[in-house]
Each structure stands twice: as C-alpha cells, then as structure tokens.
C-alpha cells in the first residue's frame, strides 16, 4: 500500500464537532503533528500517540516533518483547526508533497469557523457569501481592501477570519470603514468568540457599532447581506422561500 | 427543559463525513424530517426512527411539520445535505420558529460541498473565497451575474453550487462567459461529482474548457484564483507561505 499522510480539519475545538472520519483516523494513527496550541487540545483525547509540534511561522518545517515521519512507515495525521482547506495546511502540504512523490496526501474535511460560528449566531450565511481573512501576514493589505469592497458591492454575506491580533488591533475598524463606503450603518452583523470552546459568546451589532468594537484573535465576524435580519436574538439571512 | 428542534447538516452523504455530534443527535432523536432524497440516505443507519419527508418546493411545510412534532414532545431532527446554514434549512427554520416561541432551534454544523469537494480536488479554497449558487429559483439571475463579476474582480477563489439542472442546462456556460470577461481562459478550475457518494469523480479543467463542459446537478464547481496551480493532478491555491 502506498504511504499516506492525512491532513485533518479538527473543527472548532469541541471534540464532538469533529467529523466521524477525522476522529477515526486520529485514533488509528501513530503520529499527530500540528501547531502547538491545536495539538495540545488533542493530547487527552488521543492517548499513546506521538505528538509533534512547531510554533506559528514554522509551517513549512511542520509539513516536512509530517512527510519525514510518514517516509519511516508511520501513519501520520497533520491537524488544523476548522477545515484543513480553509486557511489550513492542505495547500502547503500538497506543495511540499511534490518533493515526496511516494507519499499520498489525503485531505479530511472539518467544520470551518464560518459554519460553526454561523450555527451559533443562527443562519448568517444561508445565501451566497464570501470568506476573507484580515491577516496581512501573507497577503498585501490592498488586496484585502479590494476584496472587502467587491464583496460589499456584490451584496454577499461576509465572514471575516483573523479580525484582530496584538500587532494589528485596529484592522477590524479599518475593514468596517471600507464596508461602510458601500453598506448602511444599520447592516446586521454578529461576532462569535471561542466557538465550540469554553467561553463561547455570540453578539449582534449594527455595522456602525461593530466598527467601534474591539475583538480578539479568537473571534469570527459576520456581516449580513441586504436581506439579513434579527429574529429573536439570532442573525438570519433568508434564502428567499415564501412563508 | 425547553422543547428543542435540531437542524442538522449531514455532510456530503458518506456517513463517516458527518460530525460526531450530528450522529449522536440522530441516534437520540425520535423523528427525522427532511427532503425525501436525503432522508432516504439515513433510513438504514438510524433504524426505529419516525421518518417524515416533503418534496422540494415544500420547504416551509417541512419546517412547520418539524415544529408541530416537537410541540408534541418529540425530539426532532431536521436534516439537510452539507451544512444546515449554507443553502440549507436553518434560516427558514429560524424564520418559521418565530411562530413557535416555546421551541428552541439548535443548529448543528456539517461539512458543506465547498469543503468536502475541495478536499477531493486538493486545496482550491486555501485563501479568501466566495460561494455562489447558480440556481435562480429563489434569486434573480442578474443578482447572480453581479456576484460572479464582483467575485472575479476581487480575485476570490469561487465555489459554484447548483451549476446545472434539467430546466437550466446552460447556466454554467453563462456563468463562465461572465467570469471570462475578467479571468484568463487558462485559469485552473475543477469539478467534483457525487462527493462522498458512489461514483465520486474529480476533474481539472481550464476555465475555457469548463465553459464547454456539461455538468449535472450533483456537481460542485471550483474556479481558482490568480495563484491557483495544478500539482500532481490536484488543484492547489497557495496561501503564500515561503517554501
């Protein structure tokens, strides 16, 4: 059988929000590799495994470690939060995997924060939507600005990842200022902090209020489209069914 | 305890691609309600349940049935394919739920086709992306056109749902013609048919080739962004890590 590395989306954090398949592969594997913070969430649930971690900014090295361990004959799982394919490691694993043609890469999906956070808020993404990361670590800020403007012009519901960090506390404000060039101040928005983890908190805002709200790096932000409304404290984007 | 209805995303179809929590709730519930085709996928795995179905176009009636059964004291699960919040029933359930204030609606996430299909193709959505349905049953076509144009202009990776049906066999061609006003003919694209079901098939194309390709209603379509490339037969959108 061909050697194989699994790239696994572990969902928002709560073990029950992982896919049945992801859970099975983590039970079967020898080695679990990932970003230190995420791997630590798994140590208790998967005892007896070899755990390997690298800090942030060491992503390429982390991928090489995964392939090197698989080359030794181990069954290796690289884990990512959310889905492996949404700002996750599956792209880099396939790029680096080109140097390891004898090892196959299998991607196992997970629930990304747009979905798990949306479920907590209600149904913000029931219609067409765009997902944008505000992190400019790997993307020029003017590209992020352009995407925000186009998404607003298209009347997409928008989900923002990485809305803030210590080094860029004002990025959500800057993003809201761009959106406010196209969208009204009373557009319904929502945030979810610590999705599927202790301290999970959902809040609704207008876009004008959101502009002046401080969020942390564990927050996912949702901007409604022109049809989005608040129903009983939930954020709901109708699909258009007649009731 | 307050009465509660669950709205559950069952993922692409393969039972292993459901979340652990969704599986648990389906095992615990009394009644499973959904669109006939999806409910039939569950009959064997969840024996002894009461199964209720309505055909397409009866979505509002289906939601009312769910609340009526829950009002009788039953534990009710409304199922949707993929995620309950992405073109699923969670929005309509919350809208109709406003008439049943004594019943709480809990949304349980699942893996939507953008994620599960992306995993089959490789990593097409690793960077910012837009999700657009080509169905004009509930959305005016000119709004769909506008969203396609804005998504292309923003250099999003794009995932298209409902790219075709019997009544609109040429919608993918019409969508590609709009995208080709902004994107080059050799832009990398991919399709996945029957994700997580028998007959799963992934194919790569250029946008020019995709325009002249016939797909069916069980197909999800992916359009790469300006960085997307083909690596060993997989579709990969790099996030921008230095290798």
Confidence at residue A97, expressed as pLDDT on a 0 to 100 scale: 97
Average pLDDT of the residues of chain B: 95
| Chain A residues in contact with B14 (beta carbon < 8 A) | 21
Distance CA B67, CA B101 (A): 10
CA atoms within 13 A on the CB side of A212: 4
Say if B92 falls within a structural domain. Answer: yes
**Would you place residue B2 in the very low, low, confident or very high pLDDT band (cuts 50, 70, 90)?**
confident
> What percentage of chain A exceeds 70 in pLDDT?
100
Interchain contact, A109 vs B154, CB within 8 Å: no
- Supply angle C-alpha A191, A194, A200, rounded to 5: 80
Distance CA A78, CA A91 (A): 12
DSSP 8-state assignment for residue B183: S
Distance CA B240, CA B39 (A): 41
Residue B107, token pair as written in the block: 């949304």
| Chain A residues in contact with B243 (beta carbon < 8 A) | 60, 92, 95-96
Confidence at residue A166, expressed as pLDDT on a 0 to 100 scale: 87
Distance from CA of A227 to the nearest CA of B (A): 12
pLDDT in tens, B139-173: 999 999 999 999 999 999 999 999 998 888 899 99
**Would you place residue B98 in the very low, low, confident or very high pLDDT band (cuts 50, 70, 90)?**
very high
Q: Which of A42, A64, A130 to mutate to test the interface with B (most CBs of B within 10 A)?
A: A130
DSSP lists the bridge partners of residue A161 as A133
Interchain contact, A90 vs B123, CB within 8 Å: yes
Confidence at residue A242, expressed as pLDDT on a 0 to 100 scale: 78
Confidence at residue B48, expressed as pLDDT on a 0 to 100 scale: 95
Confidence at residue A107, expressed as pLDDT on a 0 to 100 scale: 98
B81 with B160, same domain? no
**In this structure, are strands A201-206 and A188-193 parallel, antiparallel, or unpaired?**
antiparallel
A125 with A147, same domain? yes
B138 with B190, same domain? yes
Distance CA B89, CA B62 (A): 10
Q: Is the confidence at residue A78, as pLDDT, over 90? A: yes
Confidence at residue A241, expressed as pLDDT on a 0 to 100 scale: 81
Q: Is the confidence at residue B117, as pLDDT, over 90? A: yes
CB distance A67 to A96 below 8 Å: yes
Segment B207-217 mean pLDDT: 96
Q: Is B204 on the interface with A (CB under 8 A)?
A: no
**Would you place residue B242 in the very low, low, confident or very high pLDDT band (cuts 50, 70, 90)?**
confident
Neighbouring residues of B171: CB distance < 8 A, sequence distance ≥ 6:
B134, B136, B163, B164, B165
Segment A29-46 mean pLDDT: 93
Q: Is A241 on the interface with B (CB under 8 A)?
A: yes
Q: Which of B98, B125, B156 sits opposite A231 (nearest CB)?
A: B98
**Would you place residue B25 in the very low, low, confident or very high pLDDT band (cuts 50, 70, 90)?**
very high
Number of domains in chain A: 2
Segment B89-106 mean pLDDT: 97
A104 with A122, same domain? no
Confidence at residue B57, expressed as pLDDT on a 0 to 100 scale: 81
DSSP lists the bridge partners of residue A158 as A130, A223
**In this structure, are strands B129-133 and A157-161 parallel, antiparallel, or unpaired?**
unpaired
Say if B17 falls within a structural domain. Answer: yes
B96 with B188, same domain? no
Say if B171 falls within a structural domain. Answer: yes
Phi, psi of A138 (to 5 degrees): -120, 0
Q: Is the confidence at residue B79, as pLDDT, over 90? A: yes
Give the number of other CB atoms < 10 A from CB of residue A84. Answer: 31
Q: Is the confidence at residue A66, as pLDDT, over 80? A: yes
pLDDT in tens, A128-155: 999 999 999 899 999 999 999 999 999 9
**Would you place residue A243 in the very low, low, confident or very high pLDDT band (cuts 50, 70, 90)?**
confident
Q: Is the confidence at residue B1, as pLDDT, over 80? A: no
Residue that is last in its domain, among A93, A108, A123? A108
Interchain contact, B231 vs A115, CB within 8 Å: no
Q: Could you tell me where the beta strands, DSSP code E, fall in chain A?
A: 3-9, 31-35, 50-54, 76-80, 103-108, 122-123, 129-133, 157-161, 188-193, 201-206, 219-223, 229-231, 234-236
A104 with A143, same domain? no
Confidence at residue B202, expressed as pLDDT on a 0 to 100 scale: 98
DSSP 8-state assignment for residue A199: T
Say if A241 falls within a structural domain. Answer: no
Task: Note the residue count of chain B.
Answer: 243
Q: Is the confidence at residue A73, as pLDDT, over 90? A: yes
Interchain contact, A20 vs B23, CB within 8 Å: yes
Distance CA A32, CA B120 (A): 22
Confidence at residue A55, expressed as pLDDT on a 0 to 100 scale: 81
B84 with B27, same domain? yes
**Would you place residue B241 in the very low, low, confident or very high pLDDT band (cuts 50, 70, 90)?**
confident
**Would you place residue A234 in the very low, low, confident or very high pLDDT band (cuts 50, 70, 90)?**
very high
Say if A141 falls within a structural domain. Answer: yes
Q: Give the residue numbers spanning the domain of A134.
A: 113-236
Say if B151 falls within a structural domain. Answer: yes
> What percentage of chain B exceeds 90 in pLDDT?
88
Say if B121 falls within a structural domain. Answer: yes
Can you give the pTM of this predicted structure? Answer: 0.97
Residue that is last in its domain, among A108, A132, A165? A108
Cα Rg of chain A (Å, integer): 19
Distance CA B205, CA A90 (A): 20
Residue that is last in its domain, among A50, A74, A108? A108
**Would you place residue A240 in the very low, low, confident or very high pLDDT band (cuts 50, 70, 90)?**
confident
The domain that holds A56 is classified in CATH as 3.40.1010.10
Distance CA B230, CA B243 (A): 17
B101 with B182, same domain? no
pLDDT in tens, B42-76: 999 999 999 999 887 899 999 999 999 999 999 99
A86 with A125, same domain? no
Q: Is the confidence at residue A41, as pLDDT, over 90? A: no
B203 with B227, same domain? yes
Confidence at residue B55, expressed as pLDDT on a 0 to 100 scale: 81
Q: Residue A56's closest chain B neighbor by CA?
A: B241
pLDDT in tens, A147-189: 999 999 999 999 999 999 888 889 999 999 999 999 999 999 9
Distance from CA of A209 to the nearest CA of B (A): 24
B128 with B226, same domain? yes
B212 with B121, same domain? yes
- The distance from CA B39 to its chain's CA centroid, rounded to whole angstroms, is 16
| Chain A residues in contact with B150 (beta carbon < 8 A) | 150-151, 153-154, 156
Distance from CA of B101 to the nearest CA of A (A): 9
The domain that holds A176 is classified in CATH as 3.30.950.10
DSSP lists the bridge partners of residue B158 as B130, B223
CA dihedral A69, A95, B204, A75 (to 10 degrees): 10
Say if A84 falls within a structural domain. Answer: yes
Confidence at residue B102, expressed as pLDDT on a 0 to 100 scale: 96
């Amino acid at each position: 059988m061909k050697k194989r590395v699994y790239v696994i989306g572990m969902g928002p954090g709560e073990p029950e929000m992982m896919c049945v398949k992801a859970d099975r592969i983590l039970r079967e594997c020898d080695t679990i590799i990932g970003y230190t913070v995420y791997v630590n969430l798994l140590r208790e649930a998967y005892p007896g495994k070899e755990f390997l971690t690298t800090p942030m900014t060491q992503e390429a090295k982390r991928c090489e470690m995964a392939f090197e361990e698989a080359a030794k004959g181990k069954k290796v799982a690289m884990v990512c939060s959310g889905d492996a394919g949404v700002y996750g490691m599956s792209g880099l694993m396939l790029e680096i995997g080109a140097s390891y043609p004898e090892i196959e890469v299998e991607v196992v999906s997970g629930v990304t924060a747009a979905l798990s956070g949306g479920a907590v808020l209600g149904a913000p993404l029931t219609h067409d939507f765009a997902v944008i990361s505000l992190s400019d670590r790997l993307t020029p800020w003017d590209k992020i600005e352009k995407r925000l403007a186009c998404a607003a012009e298209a009347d997409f519901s928008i989900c923002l990842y990485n809305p803030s960090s210590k080094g860029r506390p004002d990025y959500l404000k800057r993003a809201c200022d761009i959106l406010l060039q196209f969208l009204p101040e009373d557009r319904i928005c929502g945030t979810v902090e610590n999705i599927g983890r202790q301290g999970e908190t959902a809040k609704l805002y207008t876009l004008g209020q959101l502009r002046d709200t401080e969020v942390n790096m564990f927050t996912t932000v949702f901007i409604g489209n022109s049809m989005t409304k608040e129903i009983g404290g939930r954020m709901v984007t109708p699909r258009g069914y007649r009731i």
